[in-house]
Structure 1
Amino acid sequence: MQLPANHLQFESEIAPDRRDPNRSADRALGRVIGCSGSRATIAANATGQGAADGCAIGRLISISLGKSRVVGLVYEMRALEPIWKETGTNAVAVEVELLGEVVDGQNGTARFDSGITSYPPIGALAHRIRSRDLELIHDLGERKSVVLGTLTQDASVAASIDIERLLSRHFAVLGTTGVGKSSAVALMLRKAIEAKPNLRILILDPHNEYAHAFPDNSARIDASTLDLPFWLFRFEEFADIVFRGRPPLEDEAEILREVIAVARSRYRTVSPQDMARDLGTSLLKRPLDLGGARRTAEAGGAAGLAAPYRLVDLFTAIDELIGLHELRYPRTTLRALRVRLETLHGDPRYGFLFAHANSMETIAPVISQIFRVPHRGRPVTVFQLAGLPSEVVNAVASSLARLSFDLAMASRGSYEILLLCEEAHRYVPQDQALGFAPTRQAIARIAKEGRKYGAYLGIVTQRPGELDPTILSQCSTVFAMRLGNERDQQIIRAAIADASASTIAFLSSIGNREAIAFGEAVATTMRMRFLEQRPEELPAMAGRMPGQVEPREPLVEELVARMRGL
């Protein structure tokens, strides 16, 4: 079978695509020589220089059936002869996965249907797909769409997503370091803000990089500007802070739970006169009412929000336990807990827990600061975790995820909140024994129930194999960027519902800013390239602006002070 020497083609008359007079009329690639339920093999000839651009790995081709065209994805190409001829032509087999079909209507319109109703017969002609068919395949119809980039196969065709489904059904961006994940996420968030003015976005930023991408419409919160009072944390979260991530011993946990309950009970019953006096004097005279404390703790748990209490009441309750004639706990354990709390209170790195805690009787200032209520033109909150002590990051992430859900539910649709988790495998790892259980539970609650109340989840990670598969399964739209790890690729393979493993067989070699997008926010699985952004719109690593340097080298004393949070 002898073909012309310039590109893959067969000797067959093809009806030209008259849409573009400058385009070659002949789009033929080859003919079908084998077909199964989901795949087909196309025989073609190639010159010594290789195949034409229209028949490359990862590209779509179409197989003509008269009034319909079957759409296939090229996932493998091989020569049929063991020796490649530099002159003349070489027989080539092109393996394609059948994705769906374009059907021409009687009124001249066409539609794309996933799945195959009419399979291509042996000898059916395959050709380069038309641009208008590509547009049709990825058309979202009446759905509200935004453009994130272009198709890799044809840069003239926009890569659009349904922004409503992207957010409300949760999404994930997966890819190894350096492929452009953060830049792609910044682009998505910018488009989301434009499309949904009432959306609030809270970014858990472990590298302090996103503030640079949103200079005009974001508020940055770091260790120096954060006010997150200690009484806001639930018991498991506060215990994780107090014991620096170490599981507390049985006595330690019981003592801490008991004295917190006492402190909450006394806060509720404090008189205005006592409030005006010195706290140390007035509160030392209060008796230890454990029964009332337990009832207060139970009431607070039922309400869902932590009731305020004062640290001085905590110390007083411990002192009273130490002074009992009939000791219920070892004095050494009680004194050790008191020392822990005093050390925590005196450490400047934990100032955000205690500095204004006693002047805040409600969580309203916290909600206003973190969730931008009202947003005043800055609906994005970049929560910079890199400056916080590592021992509190899990507890802080847990409390923020919990508050996100509670606020969205309480607003009854007035506020929609997107919680974006960078390096999500830190918070919800696959191994149930790792990570912090309250953080896992809070994020899982958003993933499973959040869409009903307007609480949405965005997951960003470079190691999907280390991420809890339950959380990933709740993300209905996934952008898979370059992943070299086989285990990570397997996770993506299992997640794609509308295509088989061949769809991402080339995932390890796609370029920067490229992604395989699949799920409910796209019309069909597509290989796309994200829009190129200006330098000022990109996240800056570690929060450092491009070209920004210290005016002078800091002294070692200054560096130590920064490390201590001073």
Structure 2
Amino acid sequence: MFIQREASEATSQERRDVAQDDRRILGHIVQCDGARAVIAAYASEGDSPITGRWSVGRMISINLGTSRIVGMVHAIAKPDHVWIEESTNPIEVHVELVGEVRDGATPEANPVFDRGIATYPHIGAIAHRIRARDLQAVYDLAGRRTITIGTLSQDEEINANIAIDDTLSRHFAIVGTTGVGKSTAVSLLLRKAVTARPDLRVLILDPHNEFAAALPEHCVTIDASNLDLPFWLFRLEEFAEVLFRGREAPPEETDILRDLIPAAKSLYRNPNAGAYLRRGADSLTTDSPVPYRIADLIKLIDERIGLLESKNERPALKSLKSRIEQAASDPNYRFMFNSRLIEDTIHETIGNIFRIPMNDRPITCFEMAGLPSEVVNSVCSVLARLAFDLAVWSEGRLKLLLLCEEAHRYMPADARRGFAPTRHALSRIAKEGRKYGCYLGIVTQRPGELDPTILSQCSTFFAMRLANEHDQEIIRSAIADSSASALTFLSSIGQREAIAFGEGVATTMRLKFEKLDAALLPGSAQSANPDAGASSPDVDLFAIVERLRNVPKPQPTFSSAEPSGIARQAGDPGFHRPAMPRLQPDEDFDQRYGLRPSTFGLRQQGD
């Protein structure tokens, strides 16, 4: 009965020709347990299309009459390991049982897939290539909001869909070795996500400055040249990370900052009250996101140096003062200590970074390649912390996705490495963010070096080619359903291919991502004209050094005795330095950072 019904179908996938020998097309169950089955079938040298139906990674169907069991081929073998040419060769096909397909209530209704198995195959049950309708039923998302990101590797006529809401809200990870197309998959996923979810805002932590070119119509770019992130938004640990250039801060200097930063904030809010600190519910703490002035902090350190009882801590006070002055005057830290950031600019800063209002550009590409390496951890910590706090205090109205490219940099598996506040901020999003609308996207080439706590919070995975055995084992341990064997060929899947599993898909799915236009590939701006400048072998070393120094070029000075246009240098006969107005230290500092000297008064000689 089954064979007659299949033969009468207009688009039968079990046979190319009704007259073909069943043994060359179908197999039969010869062994079965609760999770796997073995199929006895035949293969021959001249029948590659039919033999190919049993290839590893393909879905097959086992007919039980009222239902069909879906299995995935994970191994093929010839028992005697001998191949006979021009003859049929018996083979064993090992499949992993995935679920069960049942016909709809009416002939026109679509089949329904269930990941559980009510009736297991009996010995002799017929196995064959799965029908297209059944394959679609296997990956059907049952009314959930979906986006199409590619096609199935087994059948390119069938779209590969994911449930975008579940993928985002339960966090996701894209893993794969270098060069397999992770960044392309990310840009494709983001394009589809912001189209399907107009309320979604995305912040990309982009260490290689490559996503802006891939999302030109959706994103704004923030880099070291236009970033405004006031120093007073940094918490104590984050601020100390900047001051001490990534090294561990001495406890005595940290304690001084803990005492004096609240005093500087109080002085900013009420200049006439001095450094008096209020106690109670409205008192300021070191981590309160309230503006203060670096000049105030320096002034308070000077006052403490002058106190008789501070004799023992004077070396620490002087060292801390020197560090603060060096950081504040370093051009590389201009994004923190710019003079206009002294005022309360938190609304402008947060609105620009997190796209409030959106203005039709919901994505922010935060390019970190130009930032000093010693401040990257602190900046990432501030941004991750702000993202979570904004989602919490917006009471769910603000939907934010924080996408971490090269995530193992910020959340290494070794707790002794990395920056603890960054790890804590990202871990908080991973554990609690879904309740408030703050989502996390992880992109990494080394999942084995990523904090397993963070990885375990991701409910949807897109696993691309992974060569490292430890990395493969980490991903295998994350898969929860019965299709673990789909990951056995992670080391050999093709370019742009991925194995998707988790909450965002109906069942484990091998797919091929859509191909993007070459102009929209990540990093296309850098590679658009690789031969630019190759025509001239000369290198402008002076221009390179000027960019390296990142300081304004000094203007030439002229002596009144010299003709216009001629400047003497130090050491030349008749050279003299022009007279400069002498500034007291506080006045010099205040003028350099755009502060009014009258705000704090001038320090007297001998102080």
TM-score above 0.5, yes or no: yes
1:444 aligns with 2:427: yes
- Code of the residue aligned with 1:40 in structure 2: it is A
Q: Distance in 2 between matches of 1:17 and 1:481?
A: 40
Counterpart selection for 2:513 from 530, 555, 558: 530
Q: Secondary structure at the match of 2:151?
A: strand
Relative to structure 1, the CA distance from residue 237 to residue 80 in structure 2 (aligned partners, 3 Å threshold; closer, same or farther) is same
- 1:329 shift after superposition: 4.3
Q: Distance in 2 between matches of 1:401 and 1:36?
A: 48
Q: Distance in 2 between matches of 1:315 and 1:299?
A: 19
Does the Cα contact within 8 Å between 1:38 and 1:97 map onto a contact in 2? yes
1:429 aligns with 2:420: no
Q: Distance in 1 between matches of 2:40 and 2:549?
A: 68
- Greater gyration radius: 2
- 1:17 shift after superposition: 6.8
Does the Cα contact within 8 Å between 2:146 and 2:162 map onto a contact in 1? yes
- 1:349 shift after superposition: 0.8
Q: Secondary structure at the match of 2:252?
A: helix
Q: Distance in 2 between matches of 1:74 and 1:564?
A: 60
- 1:539 shift after superposition: 0.5
Map 1:156-305 onto structure 2 (within 5 A).
156-270=157-271, 289=276, 292=277, 299-300=284-285, 305=288
- 1:13 shift after superposition: 6.9
Counterpart selection for 1:37 from 11, 34, 37: 34
- 1:562 shift after superposition: 2.3
Q: Distance in 1 between matches of 2:283 and 2:270?
A: 16
- 1:19 shift after superposition: 4.0
Q: Secondary structure at the match of 2:6?
A: coil
Deviation sequence 1:153-181 (CA, Å, 0-9, x none):
00001000111111111111011110000
Deviation sequence 1:116-167 (CA, Å, 0-9, x none):
1111111111100111111111111211111000000000010001111111
Counterpart selection for 1:373 from 344, 352, 356: 356
Q: Distance in 2 between matches of 1:73 and 1:101?
A: 12
Moved more, 366-375 or 349-358: 349-358
Q: Secondary structure at the match of 2:309?
A: coil
Structure 1 counterpart of 2:526:
544
Q: Distance in 2 between matches of 1:328 and 1:549?
A: 63
Deviation sequence 1:227-247 (CA, Å, 0-9, x none):
111111000100001011111
Does the Cα contact within 8 Å between 1:171 and 1:478 map onto a contact in 2? yes
Relative to structure 1, the CA distance from residue 293 to residue 255 in structure 2 (aligned partners, 3 Å threshold; closer, same or farther) is farther
Q: Distance in 2 between matches of 1:328 and 1:431?
A: 40
Relative to structure 1, the CA distance from residue 74 to residue 56 in structure 2 (aligned partners, 3 Å threshold; closer, same or farther) is same
- 1:205 shift after superposition: 0.1
Q: Kindly, what percent of the aligned residue pairs are identical?
A: 52
- 1:300 shift after superposition: 4.0
Q: Distance in 2 between matches of 1:295 and 1:248?
A: 29
- Code of the residue aligned with 2:258 in structure 1: it is R
Q: Which structure ranks higher in relative contact order (CA pairs < 8 Å, sequence separation ≥ 6)? A: 1
- Code of the residue aligned with 1:559 in structure 2: it is I
Q: Distance in 1 between matches of 2:304 and 2:39?
A: 82
Does the Cα contact within 8 Å between 2:267 and 2:275 map onto a contact in 1? no
Map 1:268-347 onto structure 2 (within 5 A).
268-270=269-271, 289=276, 292=277, 299-300=284-285, 305-327=288-310, 329-347=312-330
- Code of the residue aligned with 2:78 in structure 1: it is A
Structure 2 counterpart of 1:118:
119
Relative to structure 1, the CA distance from residue 143 to residue 137 in structure 2 (aligned partners, 3 Å threshold; closer, same or farther) is same
Q: Secondary structure at the match of 1:498?
A: coil
Q: Tell me, which stretches of 5 or more residues in structure 1 are unaligned? A: 1-11, 272-285
Counterpart selection for 2:367 from 368, 376, 384: 384
Q: Distance in 2 between matches of 1:29 and 1:330?
A: 85
Aligned residues: 537
1:559 aligns with 2:544: yes
1:24 aligns with 2:16: yes
Does the Cα contact within 8 Å between 1:29 and 1:55 map onto a contact in 2? no
- 1:394 shift after superposition: 0.3
Moved more, 446-455 or 544-553: 544-553
Structure 2 counterpart of 1:276:
none
- Code of the residue aligned with 1:536 in structure 2: it is A
TM-score, normalised to structure 1, is 0.90
Q: Distance in 2 between matches of 1:343 and 1:359?
A: 17
Structure 1 counterpart of 2:346:
363
Does the Cα contact within 8 Å between 2:62 and 2:121 map onto a contact in 1? yes
Map 1:497-512 onto structure 2 (within 5 A).
497-512=480-495
Does the Cα contact within 8 Å between 1:181 and 1:481 map onto a contact in 2? yes
TM-score, normalised to structure 2, is 0.84
Does the Cα contact within 8 Å between 2:140 and 2:506 map onto a contact in 1? yes
Q: Distance in 2 between matches of 1:217 and 1:528?
A: 26
Q: Tell me, which stretches of 5 or more residues in structure 2 are unaligned? A: 552-607
1:103 aligns with 2:102: yes
Q: Distance in 2 between matches of 1:99 and 1:476?
A: 19
Q: Distance in 1 between matches of 2:453 and 2:158?
A: 34
- 1:323 shift after superposition: 1.0
Q: Distance in 2 between matches of 1:236 and 1:17?
A: 73
Q: Distance in 2 between matches of 1:336 and 1:21?
A: 81
Deviation sequence 1:73-122 (CA, Å, 0-9, x none):
00011111132222312221110000001112342232100021111111
- Code of the residue aligned with 2:401 in structure 1: it is L
Instruction: Kindly report the root-mean-square deviation, in angstroms, between the aligned alpha carbons of the 2 structures.
Output: 2.2
Does the Cα contact within 8 Å between 2:266 and 2:284 map onto a contact in 1? no
Q: Distance in 2 between matches of 1:199 and 1:329?
A: 54
